[in-house]
Amino acid sequence: MRRFVPALLVALLASVPLWLSDPYILNAFITTGVFTIAAMSLNLLLGYTGQLSLGHVAFFGIGAYVSALTSLGFDVELFEGFHVVHDPWPVVYGFILGTVFAGLCGYLVGKLSFRVRGAYFVIVTISFAEVVRLVALNWVELTQGPLALTNIPPFTLGLPGLGYATLYGKIGNYYLVLVVGVIAYVVIKHLVQSHIGRAMIALKENESLAVSVGINVTRYLVLAAVVSAAIAGASGSLYAHYLRIIDPDIFLFLYTVTMVIMVITGGKGTLAGPVVGGAIFGAIPVIVRSFAAPEVQWILYGAFMMVIIFVLPHGIVPALERWFAPTTPKPERIAPQPSASAE
């Protein structure tokens, strides 16, 4: 029964535009979907390797900027008299390049930052995101800096010679996000259920043991970082072509927080966790907006976050799993150990 849940959910989500015509709610679905994909990618790092990246928004933003710039074109003078000129390309290429480029950045950051763990890793990732933001802000010639990249073309599907279809409307974008989300889910599922995923989990539970049985720690962590960053970049690209304007505000720390909240409240290290967390924290702002004053909306948001963690410290999905199958031992989680990740 349980293995049909994802398929049922996808079928249900696919039917949404058929019975929901409210564009505002559909807009909430699309932006929530984009951030849920980013949260799924964060979960790969946080949930399966135990490394908390608080700079995940950097990959999201890099994907968005690369994709937007690929489709808009640019003319940059790298040094005296040497120009790099790029003519606009179709958005599909932007999407692919954004994903690849974010993945490359994930490789570099992974290589460098996995030399540290725990709190140090948290700070080095925050620093990375901040540096990327400052580059986006100050390299005005390329990114237009704070003047924002505007008139970003909407997503276009298709290949040269076969014709293109532009997704202006909500429904097209909705299905696009859904399809990318499903692909990301499947990629992550296959990865974590392969021997690579098992190695990652072994690593998270006991790094020194994993090393002693011959697991190449850095290699697996870097692999996770690359896939994670690439998926975050893909979601950033979706964001750029849906919102159609980006500026350095895309690196807002709040966006990283949103992703982390989605992962942890949903249940880190579970495939469904980010989806459940994404749905909840996508819906909360929409719901509280209708009755609370602006500051109170935030206070409720923060309070709700704390309450969920207090009541369900491992997140909603593991709690539900325990509820429905109290006797089944869960292979992917072990009992919490005091400061397990800290020692």
Partner 1 sequence: MSEFLQHIANTLILGGTYALLGIGLTLIFGIMRVVNFTHGELYTFGAYFVFLVVSVLGLNFLLALPVAIAAGLLLGAVIEFLLLRPMRDSDIDTTMLVMIGAMIVMQNSEQLIWGGVAKSVSTPFPETPLVIGPVSVSYLRVFVLAMALLLIAATYILINRTKLGKAMRATFQDRDTASLMGVNVQAIYTATFAIGSSLAAAGGALLGPAYVISPHMGDIASLKAFAIVILGGLGNITGATLGGFILALAEELGAGYVSSGYRDAMGFLIIIAVLLIKPTGLFARAERIG
Partner 2 sequence: MSRSRVLAGAAILAVLTGTAVAQESIKIGVNEPLTGPFAASGTYVVNGARIAADEINGKGGILGKKIELVIEDNKSNPTEAAAVTEKLVTRDKVPVIMGAWGSSLTLASMPKLMEYQVPMLVETSSSGKITTSGNPYIFRISPPSSVEAAAFKPMVPKMTIKKVDFLVINNDWGRGAAEDFGKMLKSENIQVGLVETMDQSAQDMSAQLAKIKASDADTLMVTTAVEQLTLVLKQAAALGMKKQIITTGGSQNPDQLIAQAGTAANGTIHLATFAPWQPDSTPNPEAAKYFIGEWKKRGFDFPGVTESFRGYDGIRTIAAAIQKAGKPEPEAIRAAFWTVDVKGLNGDIKFQKQGPAGKESGQSVPNVYLIKIDDGKVVVPTM
- The 85-124 contact track toward partner 1, x by CB under 8 A, reads ---------------------------xx-xxxxxx-xxx
Binds partner 1 by CB under 8 A, chosen from 5, 131, 179, 334 = 131
78 is in the binding site of which of partner 2, partner 1, none (Cβ under 5 to 8 A by kind)? none
DSSP states of 263-322 as a string? HHHH-TTSSSHHHHHHHHHHHHHHHHHTTS-HHHHHHHHHHHHHHHHHH-TT-HHHHHHH
Exactly one of 73, 75, 78, 138 binds partner 2 (CB under 8 A); that residue is: 138
Q: How many CB atoms lie within 10 A of CB 79?
A: 6
* φ, ψ at 165 (rounded to 5°): -125, 125
DSSP letter at 137? H
Q: Choose between 150 and 216: whose C-beta lies nearer to partner 2.
A: 150
How many CA within 13 A on the CB side of residue 340?
A: 13
Closest approach, Cβ 18 to partner 1, in A, equals 36
The answer to whether residue 182 forms part of the interface with partner 2 (CB under 8 A) is no
Structure tokens at 343: 């020692």
Q: Does residue 298 interact with partner 2 by CB under 8 A?
A: yes
Task: Tell me which of 39, 52, 199, 271 binds partner 1, using CB under 8 A.
Answer: 52
Window 309-328: contact mask with partner 1 (x via CB under 8 A) = xx--x---------------
- Which amino acid does the sequence have at 69? L
Tokens of 214: 């011959």
Q: Could you tell me the smallest distance in angstroms from the CB atom of residue 248 to partner 1?
A: 11
The interface mask with partner 2, positions 231-250, x = CB under 8 A, is --------x---xxx-x-xx
Q: What's the gap between Cα 70 and its chain centre? A: 21
State the binding partner of 286 from partner 1, partner 2, none, CB within 5 to 8 A by kind.
Answer: partner 2
Phi and psi based region of residue 112 (left: phi greater than 0; alpha: psi -120 to 50; beta: remaining): alpha
Which of partner 2, partner 1, none has residue 305 at its interface (CB below 5 to 8 Å by kind)? partner 1
Letter for the amino acid at 212? S
Beta-carbon contacts of residue 43 (< 8 Å; ≥ 6 apart):
188, 263, 268, 269, 273, 274
Tell me the C-alpha distance between 41 and 60, whole Å. 10
- Whole-number Å distance between alpha carbons of 88 and 213: 50
Binding string to partner 2 for residues 314 to 343, with x set by CB under 8 A, is what?
--x---------------------------
Query: Segment near partner 1 (CB under 8 A), from 76-84, 238-246, 260-268, 282-290?
Result: 260-268
> Shortest Cβ distance from residue 41 to partner 1 (Å)?
16
Pairing of strands 163-166, 82-86: unpaired
The footprint of partner 2 (CB under 8 A) covers: 5, 8-9, 12-13, 16, 20, 22-25, 27-29, 31-32, 137-138, 140, 145-148, 150-151, 168, 239, 243-245, 247, 249-250, 252, 254, 275-276, 278-280, 282-283, 285-287, 289-291, 294-295, 297-298, 316
